[in-house]
Structure 1
C-alpha cells in the first residue's frame, strides 16, 4: 500500500496581506517619543493623501499644489531649520519618497536648497521677508544654478553674469533644469560677478521683469516636479545679493547636504518598490499558486530587501555623523551615488517581478523606476559623484 504525501498548500489569505513591507531596521526607534509621533502622522498622511493621488498628476506632468498645502501644515516646509534631529529629517524624507518621489523632490529641494540657503546665507531682512511663508509651503522657491551648457562643470563654466551699476545688479544669462522654475515665487540665482569673477547668490522675485521661465516637458521621471528653462535679463536692487553667498564655496556647502538628502530618497523609493512587489507577489496567482511561492520571485524580493537594508543602514549612520558635524563630501557623494545605483537595481528587479503590469504607472513600479532614474542623475550625475569621491580618496582630480 502506497501512502501519498499531503500536498503543500500555497494558498494565501489575501484579506490578511498587509500593503506595507516590513521595516527592516526600524531606525525610528532611535527618535524621541515626540518625533516618533510626528513621523507617524507624516507617514499616515502621505500614504492616505499622496501615494495614489499623485499617479494622475505624474501622468499629466502637473504639480498638485493642494498636496503641498497639507504638507506645510505638517511642518514639512521647515524641517531643515526647525531643530528636528537629522534622523527625523531623513525618515520624513523616506516617508515622502515612499509615497511619491516627485513630491519628495519638491519638499527636499525646498528645505535644503531654498529655506536652508536663505537661512544660512541671507541677510536678516531677506530672512524676515521670505522665510515665514516659505517655511509653511505657502510660497515656493527655485534654485537656479545649472545652465544649458554647464551642468557637471558649473563651478568653472557658469556664464550667467551679474554686474553692479548705480546700486543695481544687472543679471543676464540662461538656466536649465530649474526645479519649480515656472511656479516659484522667488528664485535663488547664481551668477558670476563681472567685477571679481566670483559666483554669487541673489534672491530675485519671479515676477521681476526679465525673468522668463518655460516648462521642460516629456520627462520620463520626476514628472510632477516642474523643471524649467530660464532666460534672465533683469535688474535687481543691490540688496538682492545674499551677504554670505559671495563665492562658489557657499554653493558647494549646500550641494553637499543635498547629495546626502538624495540618499534618503533612494531609501524611500526602495521601500515603495518592496511594498508594491511584495503585495503583487502575495496576491497574484499563476499556475494555481501565488507568485510568492516561486523561488525566482522570492529571490527577487530578497534582493530588493537586501539593497534596501544596506541603503537604510548607510543613511542611519550618516545621520549620526551629520549630528556630529562630520558630513564630509566623500560621505555625501558616496551616499548619493551608491544608494541611487542600488535603487536602480531594485527598480529593474521589481519591474520584472510585476511582468506586463510593471510598465504601467497605475501599478506604481514604472512610476517609481522613472523617478529613480531621475534622482540617479540630478544633484550631480552618478559618474561625477563617483569622481568627486575618488578625488576625496586620492587627492587627485580626474575631471578638472
Structure 2
C-alpha cells in the first residue's frame, strides 16, 4: 500500500506512512530505511499476492524464505558500509514490516533470524559461533527453537521433562516438544532438555533428520495457519557434546536469552495493528453505503481513531523497549508489561476492524480476517496475558501470586 500523505508540517514522510502518527520511524537511519524499503517492496510484490491462498490452505509459502534470505536482512551490508551496527530498533522495525503484512511471515523469518539465531548466539561458545554464525545469518544453516512441551507451557521453567543423558562424548535425548514453529523446514532443532545428572536445563542442536527424532505437523489451527507448528518426539536421539550450547547450563542461563527475545512479540503485535489499521482505513474509504463512503460516518471514525491510538501507543512502547535494549538491556518486567498492554489493545483493534467491514470482515480477500485470527496467537505466546500480569504484579507489590 502506498504511504498516506504526511500531515506533520515540515517533517519528513514517516517510513511506515500515516499510521506512524508521531513519526517514530524518523529514528531510523538512512541505511536502515534502505534495508526496510527493500523488504517492503519484496513483501508487496512477492508475498501479498499469494498470502490468502496459502493461509486458507494452511500451507507455508516456503519459497519466500529463500527470497528473504537473499535480501541481506540479518547483518545488512548497508549498515556495515555506513559504519553502523545492527540495532535493536532496526530489528524491531524489521519485525514490524513483516507483521504489518502477515504474522506467519514474521515467524517464518523470525523463527530463524530471531529466536534460533539468538539462542545460539547467547548460548554458543566462541568456537561454535565461529563455525555457525555466518551460516545462520545467510540461512545456509536453518533451525528452530524447541522449548514448550505437551504438558508444560506457562510452567515450563519448572516443568521441562525432556531428558538428556551423558553417554561417552555425546548425549542421548528422550522426550517431546510441542508448538514448534518451522520445525519441518529446519536443519536443526535447538532442544531444551534437563540433564539427568544435575537436573539443570541445557540446550542441544539436534539434526531434524537424526534417527529417533520425529516431526508431526499440528493440524486444525484457526490462527497463523501458514506457520508449520509441529510436535517433536525424541526417542534416543544422539547429539555430540560439540552440539551442546556451552554457555547454557541452567534455565536461568536460558531465560537471559529470552530478555532479548520478549520485545519481538511487542513489535509483531504492533506491526499487526498497523497492517490492520491500513487495511481497514483503505476499505472504509472505498466502501459506500447510503450514498457516501463509510469513512465519513462518525461511528466509523471513532473506531478508526481508537485503532490508530492503540497502534501508536503500542509503537511507543516497542520503540522504548528497543532503546532500552540498545542501551544495555530490557528487564523482564518491562517486557512483560509491554507485551500485556500491547496485545490487549491489539485484540481490541482486531475486533473493531473486523466489525467495520461487516460481513466482508470474515473474507480473506480483504486481509482483515487474517489479522483478526492471527491476533489470537500473538495474544497467547511469549507468555500469556495472565502470566505477564503476574510478573509485573510481583515486581510492583513485592508479593508473588504464582502458585
Provide TM-score, normalisation by structure 1. 0.91
The equivalent position to 1:319 in structure 2, one of 305, 319, 322, is: 322
**Residue range with higher mean Cα deviation, 106-115 or 203-212:** 106-115
Q: Measure, in 1, the Cα distance between the counterparts of 2:62 and 2:140.
A: 10
Q: Measure, in 1, the Cα distance between the counterparts of 2:3 and 2:286.
A: 10
- Over 3 Å counting, the alpha-carbon distance change for 1:158 and 1:16 in structure 2 is closer
Q: Map 1:242-281 onto structure 2 (within 5 A).
A: 242-281=245-284
The equivalent position to 1:369 in structure 2, one of 372, 379, 385, is: 372
- Note the C-alpha offset of 1:279: 0.7
Matching residue of 1:91: 93
Over the residues paired in the alignment, what is the CA RMSD in angstroms?
A: 2.1
Q: Measure, in 2, the Cα distance between the counterparts of 1:317 and 1:124.
A: 31
Matching residue of 1:8: none
Query: Do 1:351 and 1:359's aligned partners in 2 also have CA atoms closer than 8 Å?
Result: yes
- Over 3 Å counting, the alpha-carbon distance change for 1:343 and 1:16 in structure 2 is closer
Q: Map 1:177-188 onto structure 2 (within 5 A).
A: 177-188=179-190
Residue 351 of structure 1 aligns to a residue whose secondary structure is helix
The equivalent position to 1:39 in structure 2, one of 36, 41, 64, is: 36
- Over 3 Å counting, the alpha-carbon distance change for 1:169 and 1:242 in structure 2 is same
Residue 184 of structure 2 aligns to a residue whose secondary structure is coil
- Note the C-alpha offset of 1:97: 0.5
Q: Measure, in 2, the Cα distance between the counterparts of 1:174 and 1:150.
A: 10
Query: Do 1:347 and 1:368's aligned partners in 2 also have CA atoms closer than 8 Å?
Result: yes
Residue 236 of structure 1 aligns to a residue whose secondary structure is strand
1:75 and 2:64 correspond = no
1:119-163 Cα deviation digits (max 9, x unpaired): 221134433443333212244211110000011111111100001
- Over 3 Å counting, the alpha-carbon distance change for 1:338 and 1:150 in structure 2 is same
1:304 and 2:301 correspond = no
Query: Do 1:39 and 1:92's aligned partners in 2 also have CA atoms closer than 8 Å?
Result: yes
- Note the C-alpha offset of 1:16: 12
Matching residue of 2:398: 395
- Note the C-alpha offset of 1:17: 8.4
Matching residue of 1:136: 138
1:52 and 2:55 correspond = no
Greater C-alpha Rg: 1
Residue 313 of structure 1 aligns to a residue whose secondary structure is helix
Provide TM-score, normalisation by structure 2. 0.91
Q: Measure, in 2, the Cα distance between the counterparts of 1:167 and 1:264.
A: 41
Matching residue of 1:236: 239
Q: Measure, in 2, the Cα distance between the counterparts of 1:16 and 1:149.
A: 45
- Over 3 Å counting, the alpha-carbon distance change for 1:17 and 1:260 in structure 2 is closer
The equivalent position to 1:201 in structure 2, one of 174, 185, 203, is: 203
Q: Measure, in 1, the Cα distance between the counterparts of 2:341 and 2:371.
A: 18
Q: Map 1:157-176 onto structure 2 (within 5 A).
A: 157-176=159-178
Query: Do 1:329 and 1:392's aligned partners in 2 also have CA atoms closer than 8 Å?
Result: no
Q: Measure, in 1, the Cα distance between the counterparts of 2:246 and 2:23.
A: 42
Matching residue of 1:10: none
- Over 3 Å counting, the alpha-carbon distance change for 1:309 and 1:102 in structure 2 is same
Structure 1, unmatched stretches of 5+, are: 1-14
Matching residue of 2:13: none
**Residue range with higher mean Cα deviation, 250-259 or 326-335:** 250-259
Q: Measure, in 2, the Cα distance between the counterparts of 1:166 and 1:17.
A: 62
- Over 3 Å counting, the alpha-carbon distance change for 1:28 and 1:16 in structure 2 is closer
Matching residue of 1:7: none
Matching residue of 2:23: 26
- Over 3 Å counting, the alpha-carbon distance change for 1:141 and 1:17 in structure 2 is closer
- Over 3 Å counting, the alpha-carbon distance change for 1:68 and 1:37 in structure 2 is same
- Note the C-alpha offset of 1:240: 2.1
Q: Measure, in 1, the Cα distance between the counterparts of 2:106 and 2:381.
A: 14
Matching residue of 1:9: none
Q: Measure, in 2, the Cα distance between the counterparts of 1:128 and 1:121.
A: 13
- Over 3 Å counting, the alpha-carbon distance change for 1:130 and 1:179 in structure 2 is same
Residue 96 of structure 1 aligns to a residue whose secondary structure is helix
Query: Do 1:267 and 1:311's aligned partners in 2 also have CA atoms closer than 8 Å?
Result: yes
Matching residue of 2:106: 104
**Residue range with higher mean Cα deviation, 383-392 or 294-303:** 383-392
Query: Do 2:4 and 2:18's aligned partners in 1 also have CA atoms closer than 8 Å?
Result: no
Q: Measure, in 2, the Cα distance between the counterparts of 1:325 and 1:390.
A: 24
